[in-house]
Amino acid sequence: MKIRFSSAALLLFFAVTLAFFSVSAPRFATASTVENLMSGYAFVAILAMGQAWPILVRGIDLSIGAIVGLVGMIVFDLSLIFSVPGYVILPLALLAGALAGALNGVLIVYLHLQPFIATLATLAAYRGLTYSISGRQLVPGLTTTPIRDPWITGIETYFDLGGSIGLSRLINMPWFPLSFFIMLAVFALLQVLLLATRFGRDTCATGGNAEAARLAGIRVGAVTIAAYAISGICAAIAALIMVARFTTATEALGSGAELTAIAAAVIGGVSLAGGVGSMFGPAIGAFLLGAILIGLTLQGVPQFVQQIITGVILLAAVGYDRLLVLRRQRKLETAATGAGR
């Protein structure tokens, strides 16, 4: 019930934000803004949903942006240097992301590293590895060569749905990006995985109380590694979308994306204390951040001010999350005291 209430509150805040900028910002209430939100923040929503899984097991993944860069460069090299077909590159990219994410989990589970330290280390390692395998450095002539494989560039396809389902008459936008539908597919898959499977229940139990979960027979280590692998897969999907959009990959691809993903996940109600959250919140949180940044840009607000506002929003979300955790702790203490009497 609390998750449903928080989701409804987040949707209401999103609607209020859209209404505010529609009135105050020129050209905000247009089909162009809707398209920019769909195509420009679908990959952010995917990253936020991926980031939610480590947070659900009471961890965090600071390397998610570096995994985006690494996978993007792998796609670049395989396509332009080794001429590997796109239908082979796509599963290899997902596998690379899964392995990179799983390595984070292995470091945490078997070396007993704190998630912050482990993923901070792999952030640096993955970014360095990206530079070391950079096809742009190894073959400078490829710097200006676009990726043309239709299996990859096709991810940036737009579908003409307006005429067939009548949306063009409502929002004057007949074209919808494939990346948005990929985001919806990822959302549906992860939401079902979290809410309707034993693995999802084990994930929340692990984040809520790892020791109790272990005593209940849950393989806490395997669940943790799988949660980080999911984060890596989501980073790989986001990388594919970005490479398709830019038709290339740079060494800095995904830089800073980890902070945006964390912000969207926390704003979306995924508790930093672990065990509480859904996929709906991070997805809406990503588009909420996108609406705010687009609205501020249309209002002429400088970039550095936008970064400050984003930081303030994240602090407010973390503070609210902490307040909810303290409330839950008080209720548990009160219940325990009442049971003791």
| Domain locations along the chain | 2-141+148-340
Give the 3-state secondary structure of residue 177. Answer: strand
CA neighbor of 290 nearest in space, from 10, 61, 45:
45
Rounded to 10 deg, the angle between the 86-110 and 64-80 helix axes is 150
CA gap 72, 233 in Å, rounded: 13
Render 70-124 in DSSP notation, one character per residue: HHHHHHHHHHHTS---HHHHHHHHHHHHHHHHHHHHHHHHHS---HHHHHHHHHH
Q: pLDDT tens-digit profile of 125-145?
A: 999 999 999 999 989 888 889
| The two structure tokens encoding residue 166 | 């009548």
172 or 331: which leads in pLDDT:
331
- Compare 333 and 165 and report the one with higher pLDDT: 333
CA 164/CA 105 separation, integer angstroms = 45
Instruction: Tell me what percent of the residues of the chain surpass a pLDDT of 70.
Output: 91
Q: What is the pLDDT of residue 338?
A: 63
Please tell me the least confidently modeled range out of 22-26, 196-200, 241-245.
22-26
Task: Look at residue 174 in the predicted model and tell me its pLDDT.
Answer: 53
List the single range of 10-14, 25-29, 253-257 with lowest mean pLDDT: 25-29
Q: What is the pLDDT of residues 153-210, one digit of tens each?
A: 999 888 766 554 444 444 455 578 899 999 999 999 999 999 999 999 999 999 999 9
Output the CA angle 151-153-41, nearest 5 degrees.
120
Mean pLDDT score, 20-38: 86
Calpha distance 133→130 (Å, rounded): 5
Res. 108: pLDDT tops 60: yes
pLDDT of residue 313: 82
Choose the weakest-confidence range: 9-23, 169-183, 297-311.
169-183
pLDDT (mean) for 241-269: 93
The band of 107, judged by pLDDT with boundaries at 50, 70 and 90, is: very high
- State residue 4's pLDDT score: 57
pLDDT band of 287, cuts 50, 70, 90: very high
Looking at per-residue pLDDT, the higher value among 159 and 111 belongs to 111
Token pair of 287 as six digits: 């588009």
Q: Which of 7-16, 44-53, 68-77 is the least confident region?
A: 7-16
Radius of gyration over alpha carbons of the chain, in Å? 21
Average pLDDT value for the chain: 89
**What is the pLDDT, as a whole number, of residue 324?**
74
The two tokens of residue 195 are 């809410």
CATH number at 2-141+148-340: 1.10.3470
pLDDT of 110 > 50? The answer is yes
Average confidence (pLDDT) over 2-14: 73
* pTM of the predicted model as reported, rounded to 2 decimal places: 0.92
